[in-house]
Structure 1
Amino acid sequence: MKIESQTYQARRERLIQSLPENTVAIIRTGDLCTRNNDCEYEFRPNSSFFYLTGFPEPSAYVLINGNGDTILVTLPKDPEKEQWDGFRYGVEGAVNTFGVCDAAPLDELDNAAIFLLDGAQNVAFPFGDEKLRQQVLVWRDNLTARARAGAVAPTQLMDLSPAIAEMRLRKDEEEIALMEKAAQISVEAHKQAMLAVRPGMKEYELEAELNYVFMKSGSRQPAYNNIVASGSNACVLHYIKNDETINDGDLVLIDAGAEFGCYAGDITRTFPANGKFTESQAALYQVVLDSHTAGLQELKVGAPYEACHNVAVRILTQGLVSLGLLTGNVDTLIESKAYRDFYMHNTGHWLGLDVHDCGTYRVNGESRPLESGMVLTIEPGLYVSLDNESVDEKWRGIGIRIEDDVLIRNDGPYILTHGLPREIDEIEAFMAQNH
């Protein structure tokens, strides 16, 4: 399962057509990063670079001129280095495999860039890439210094990120297939965790179950740091220590997703370590589940992005009032954001090559209308701090989040993470198979 080179070529052509005439676009993939001493982290390409090329190796650049012609600059073939570090496509492999017009070795980057930039009016690159910004300025200055010899330097620097973000926001069929695969690997990992959990085990032991399923299913790494949070650790939104003991009576919140073909899955489930929710846990869980159900109904073509969040907040606030964790008028509590003591994040985010994928959430000051092909998460939650003395002790230390990945389609929302228990009775029945 992969994206064909023709798709990447079409993306590059669409990108350059979306930019002003006589523009050269440049983006780099990034370099290897040292972990410690002479050991490096496994390389993962820059998402936007990968979106335009599919090229997986480090230290590469892609340069696209106004005709859509592409030069891929990459590390050259080097048998000695490949003996130590593994295969490289090299210049010839870059052209033959990835459908670019031309390729050049990395030590010819300056020449290739100056050749393409000479006579261009604009140069577009991601403004967040400071290394590339400095390189672009050097290339521009080089051309400016050669003006008397007829060179013409670009006069306008443009941020390439918004144009790529708009493209990445709408997924094509090949991307959707990869994302559903990532989602379903993630589903199986969460199922394994539900079956494997036992009071007394360490959180990292449960994390190992996730990683085992990820890797045996073709996902070489998680899409982000796994969150395996038991008990009150679930109230820490980005808890990644994963080193505490899971106690009998704890809820376990797992937020984990596989990465497949560089596309992210992103799931959260909360379940009892011993297989049975307590009365208090079930009451709060049902409020979160109701908000998830209500929010999902708002994920339809033409609806504003924030509609899901607004509905989820209302259901959560009503539930908090009903259970006595908040007192007062629901509208007033929402207006004053009193619910944020228990729910302090949004109800979702774009999903794609990055787990928090690119794309604006507002257009012309208004919440962005949802379109077919967009993928986002829906993830309401409630978190009652151990230190919150304003609520009954029975609620303290409970953290709950329920998250799924949703594809917006003309016929309604499609849950990519289908098949994973969400209802209380479904979770308990599923866990009873192995408890």
Structure 2
Amino acid sequence: MQSEFHQRQLAFGDLMLDNSVAIFTAAHEQTRSRDTEYRFRQDSDFFYLTGFTEPDAWLVIKKHENQVSSTLFCRPKDELAEIWHGRRLGATAAVERLAIDQAFELSELDEELPKLLNHGAAVYFVLQQDPQAEQQLHQALATLRQGSRHGWQAPNQIIDWRPMLHEMRLFKSSQEIELMRKAAQISVDGHIRAMQQCRPGMWEYQLEAEILHEFAMQGARDAAYSTIVGGGDNACILHYTENESPLRDGELVLIDAGAEFAGYAGDITRTFPVNGKFTPEQAAIYQLVLDAHDAALAALGPGKSIKQANDIVLQIMVSGLVKLGIMQGDVAELIEQQAYKAFYMHGLSHWIGLDVHDVGDYKSSDRSRTLEPGMAITVEPGLYISKSAEVDAKWQGIGVRIEDDVVITTEGIENLTAAVPKTIADIEALMAKTNN
């Protein structure tokens, strides 16, 4: 991946104005409690350009006379600090290990940054994101302005680099897709393990532990996001993460979980019966969501859009809800009035990559941007009928979501997470096999 990080730096440089400078800052360690920190996770944009996994670093990309160069500022080697807190790469090794043109210790930033900025036409930087970095940038600019008699000159404009870099991140390389396949496979195995281990009387957090154990055993020490294990009516809370309730016989459990591998996210949702057998009502709602999910997958590919797939999903799910008597009225009117939002209140899809809800412009609120090869998205229709819903009691407390991760290819899609059972027959067969 070393050469790929370097190529990304050059590719970003090609987008910059000539004689300009772009500044990117790493994430900072975050306090968990008093003098302990959360396990460090690098800022995704910084990682995308460097592959560097230490905090508090700076990357400066400079374009001068159409030549692009990179400079890293990082923590110094420190024997005592490394004994207590772990190894550091250091500036000398960074040049070779990270394919950076030059590197300095952070203590040299105040001296070197004005030199890099001097006579630049513009500086690419994100304001109001990192107050400490912003203060240091303004100090460097002030130094240049105060040195005009020495021939110094500060850039006269600040440009937000996010639209440029995030458009780059939207299109995954073959190496990125391979890492996403690995994240997806680990996520798949976690979900299959959950189906195999689930029993009435377990607690949601115990099922979560089974999933996280599988992730960790395969090299994914972190989940890509807080794991959702929602039994019964808890499945109707979209971002339920308390995972504190018992799993009851006769109810469904919805699991939304994904592994993070080498920085890339998996994101899968499956819903299945706690006891391994769907009731008729659960099966009816589940099959409706599955039909919509399969139709959405069939509708996606290059030249298509998320909106087109979602329109198909809405037609299937609203028609089905009317047939079941859960909604009443004309299907077209119900869709136009968005009456379905009482039961399907989120979007069909989002970008996925280094972030589970990855960066990238959808171009419009209805996500009508034309899909192209290299884009990666989720597909996740769902229906949520809470216990407070004004419907026949037999439907209440049923929440179902089915989610897969797909990459758009030149010929269609690649479903990275298809191996987790989805059909009613396959789920029941797997659970019957492992429960006996």
Q: TM-score range by the shorter chain?
A: over 0.9
| Structure-2 residue corresponding to 1:63 | 60
Structure 2 counterpart of 1:248, which letter? D
CA offsets per residue over residues 169-213 of structure 1, 9 Å max, x none? 000010000000000000000000000001001100000000100
Q: Larger deviation: 272-281 or 417-426?
A: 417-426
**Superposition pairs for residues 6-405 of structure 1, below 5 Å?**
6-66=3-63, 67-127=67-127, 129-131=129-131, 132-362=133-363, 367-389=368-390, 391-405=391-405
CA offsets per residue over residues 375-425 of structure 1, 9 Å max, x none? 000000000011112x10011111100000000001111101121101110
* Offset, 1:128: 5.0
In 2, the alpha carbon distance for the partners of 1:286 and 1:406 equals 21
TM-score, with structure 2 as normaliser: 0.97
Q: Larger deviation: 290-299 or 189-198?
A: 290-299
| Structure-1 residue corresponding to 2:419 | 419
* Offset, 1:254: 0.3
Contact persistence 1:317–1:334 (CA under 8 A): yes
Contact persistence 2:306–2:348 (CA under 8 A): no
In 1, the alpha carbon distance for the partners of 2:206 and 2:13 equals 48
In 1, the alpha carbon distance for the partners of 2:231 and 2:128 equals 37
Alpha-carbon distance change, 128 to 353 in structure 1, aligned in 2, over 3 angstroms: farther
* Offset, 1:119: 0.7
Residue-pair matches, total:
431
CA offsets per residue over residues 347-392 of structure 1, 9 Å max, x none? 0100000000000111699821100000000000000011112x10
Alpha-carbon distance change, 218 to 367 in structure 1, aligned in 2, over 3 angstroms: same
* Offset, 1:143: 1.0
1:65 match: secondary structure: strand
Q: Larger deviation: 344-353 or 16-25?
A: 16-25
In 2, the alpha carbon distance for the partners of 1:129 and 1:111 equals 23
CA offsets per residue over residues 242-275 of structure 1, 9 Å max, x none? 0100000110100000000000000000000000
Q: Which runs of 5+ in 2 are unaligned?
A: none
1:431 match: secondary structure: helix
In 2, the alpha carbon distance for the partners of 1:153 and 1:32 equals 31
Contact persistence 1:377–1:406 (CA under 8 A): yes
In 1, the alpha carbon distance for the partners of 2:306 and 2:36 equals 43
Q: Which runs of 5+ in 1 are unaligned?
A: none
Alpha-carbon distance change, 88 to 421 in structure 1, aligned in 2, over 3 angstroms: same
Structure 2 counterpart of 1:297, which letter? A
Structure 1 counterpart of 2:320, which letter? G
In 2, the alpha carbon distance for the partners of 1:286 and 1:183 equals 24
Contact persistence 2:306–2:367 (CA under 8 A): no
* Offset, 1:108: 1.1
1:282 match: secondary structure: helix
In 2, the alpha carbon distance for the partners of 1:152 and 1:357 equals 37
Contact persistence 1:251–1:271 (CA under 8 A): yes
